Structure 1
Amino acid sequence: MSDSDDIEKIRQQKREELASRADSPESPIDVRSAAHLDELLSENRIALVDFYADWCGPCKMLAPTVDEVAAETDAAALKVDIDAHQDLAAEYQVQGVPTLYLFGDGEVKERMVGVQDKGTLVQKIEAIA
Structure 2
Amino acid sequence: MEASTTAGKDRLGPEAEVVPAVTLTADAAEKIRALLEEDGRTDLKLRVYVTGGGCAGFQYNFAFDEKREEDDFAVEWGGVTVVIDPRSLPFLAGAQIRYEEDLSGARFVVVNPNAASTCSCGSSFSTCSQSEG
Judging by fraction of residues, say which structure has more strand. Answer: 2
> Which has the larger Rg?
1
TM-score by length of 2: 0.27
